[in-house]
Structure 1
């Protein structure tokens, strides 16, 4: 059989058109992701009450002070803030009348803020001296942020709200900042890199191997049976769907460059 006849026989197969259509959709989606240009800033957060709770303050018999100030509770919040788009964001675009600032709940005050990690020194991310009237806010500024540039900030405060927010106005960002919610602490990697890669690729290998076997290889007898075959493919689809769902919800939402041991 010549290669022309072989190519013709492939084109006559119905599954090939479906496969090419799926490949075209995937290629189009990847092309869009590679070429898009967005202006976007995002942040995620994590908080816990170190002393006291959201509903109750410390008992009156217990007196806790921070730098001579009595506090009803002590809350620690971690906030990861980064350029989630592709366009460079310049600090000169911060609107002076509405500066960028970290904000905790209205019932609390900021005790201290510590920058745990910054992407690059040249970003010149800095905290501004607090104003006496703004006890629950801290202004910040930066020189510029390229894609995935950002900072990890730890805030100690007295608010019942463990979820800090970012306020302020930046030119070219009319919709404000994207709050991606609470992030999940990543689990320490105890297994080797090879084992981690194999576990991540196993479902993909299974699906690809099943597809190639169904097209080119001998099919097991139970797949020819409509009942058992439907059950098998339903089980395989459910397994892959749960794997994809788990990968999506447990993925790291922030850039890898901002990961630090303090987040584990």
Structure 2
């Protein structure tokens, strides 16, 4: 039985399989390159939750005290700092004249600061004293080392709102900038709307997870891209099919690699 090469080359299943293998090879090459690259990539993320607000207005004479001080609002902010790179960040990499530090919003009072979680005790994480600067109160962060995926979590209790922006600044040798994570967070009103939608409401928590969006989003766009390529192979070569195929494949890569700096711990 002779195999007709021309017939095989015109078979849409063979063509689609060849395209899928080529695309899979490109994806593997990119992933292996990223994983083998040795760099220092400090990243941080934050989340805030208002514990108490406006109770003194609800009942006349009611006061809420935290550590002996009356407060109208008490908010808890958690900051996580981790090394997303493959190279270790050592204590010697921290620049003394531009210390690694947490910068808090101006106009709020810090009620308590503490380290509540570390990847390993051998990181020897410590926090410095709070000092007042032009942009607000700051306190330094010090550690012995951070290997790949090593992290520390700082809890800050303050009387600001949950929308206040806390940041981590400073200079680390060999690092261009400290990256703010691109995690997806929905407001309470957006979450309520999602819960009303059929099916989607059941996945409300998953939709807020950057890890879920990274894999689900990239696979979904990749699937639509392959569907469009299938139409191209079968002769449907309208311009919008080409645009759709290119957009979906590009979006698949963008979603996957756009969520590469994900926190190793949930805060």
Give TM-score, length-normalised by structure 2.
0.62
Q: Counterpart of 1:86?
A: 86
Q: 2:181 touches 2:262 (CA, 8 Å); kept in 1?
A: no
Q: Counterpart of 1:170?
A: 172
* Shift, 1:155, TM fit: 1.2
Q: Deviations over 1:191-210 (max 9, x none)?
A: xxxxxxxx99x979x99xx9
Map residues 1-264 of structure 1 onto 2, 5 A cutoff.
1=1, 5=3, 10=8, 15=15, 17-52=18-53, 59=57, 62-128=62-128, 130-131=129-130, 133=132, 136-160=137-161, 161-173=163-175, 175-181=176-182, 184=185, 187=205, 254-256=262-264, 258-259=265-266, 263=267
Distance 1:40 1:12 in 2: 47
Q: 1:94 touches 1:169 (CA, 8 Å); kept in 2?
A: yes
Distance 2:260 2:115 in 1: 20
Distance 2:113 2:262 in 1: 20
Distance 2:155 2:220 in 1: 38
* Shift, 1:71, TM fit: 3.5
Distance 1:98 1:62 in 2: 44
Q: Could you tell which deviates more after superposition, 105-114 or 159-168?
A: 159-168
* Shift, 1:76, TM fit: 0.9
Give TM-score, length-normalised by structure 1.
0.63
Q: Deviations over 1:204-236 (max 9, x none)?
A: 9x99xx9xxx9xxxxxxxxx9x8xxx9xx9xxx
SS of match in other structure, 2:97: coil
Q: 2:118 touches 2:153 (CA, 8 Å); kept in 1?
A: yes
Aligned CA RMSD, in angstroms, stands at 5.1
* Shift, 1:10, TM fit: 4.8
Distance 1:98 1:113 in 2: 21
Provide structure 1 residue ranges, at least 5 long, that are not aligned to the other structure.
189-198, 215-223
1:62–1:169: structure 2 CA closer, same or farther, 3 Å change rule? farther
Distance 1:28 1:117 in 2: 35
1:17–1:66: structure 2 CA closer, same or farther, 3 Å change rule? closer
1:20–1:133: structure 2 CA closer, same or farther, 3 Å change rule? closer
1:255–1:181: structure 2 CA closer, same or farther, 3 Å change rule? closer
* Shift, 1:253, TM fit: 5.7
Distance 1:122 1:149 in 2: 11
SS of match in other structure, 2:24: helix
1:117–1:143: structure 2 CA closer, same or farther, 3 Å change rule? same
Q: 2:47 touches 2:78 (CA, 8 Å); kept in 1?
A: yes
* Shift, 1:13, TM fit: 5.3
1:47–1:131: structure 2 CA closer, same or farther, 3 Å change rule? closer
Q: Deviations over 1:32-84 (max 9, x none)?
A: 2232222211111111222237xxx9659554333233434211111121001
Q: Counterpart of 2:199?
A: none
Aligned length: 233
Distance 1:21 1:85 in 2: 28
Distance 1:33 1:68 in 2: 51
* Shift, 1:116, TM fit: 2.5
Provide structure 2 residue ranges, at least 5 long, that are not aligned to the other structure.
187-203, 207-215
